[in-house]
Amino acid sequence: MTFQVSFGSRGATFEVKVQPGAGSTAILGTWESALKMKLAKKPENGAANRECLEYLSRWLGISHRNLKIIKGEFSRRKVIRVDNLTAEQVQERLREVLS
């Protein structure tokens, strides 16, 4: 696993590179130090952002309410904050999809 997860006082954070409007939703692997995802939804009215958080929440085993886009809401490169999990827990839970 080559993507980086940091842990601070507000939770674990990691970068995601998204490709909205791709026809299906999946985690593709890594890109530089980020997780790379394709999203079926188009970036209209926040639909792709919601889909990104909901999909990640399923892999992390937490509610999507514990995830927040803290940077890049209108960009393909986003920083996601995960509340209630450590960086190690995030990496462990995403290891399956990345292997």
Domain ranges of the chain: 5-98
Q: Could you tell me the two tokens for 15?
A: 């970068």
pLDDT, residue 10, reads 84
| 20 vs 94: CA distance, rounded Å | 20
For residue 19, pLDDT over 80 is answered with yes
pTM of the shown model: 0.91
| 81 vs 42: CA distance, rounded Å | 22
Please report, rounded to a whole number, the percentage of residues in the chain having pLDDT higher than 70.
99
Burial class (CB within 10 angstroms; exposed 0-12, middle 13-18, buried 19+) of 31: middle
Q: Which amino acid belongs to residue 53?
A: L
Q: Which CATH number fits domain 5-98: 3.30.420.10, 3.80.10.10, 3.30.1200.10, 3.40.190.10?
A: 3.30.1200.10
For residue 1, pLDDT over 70 is answered with no
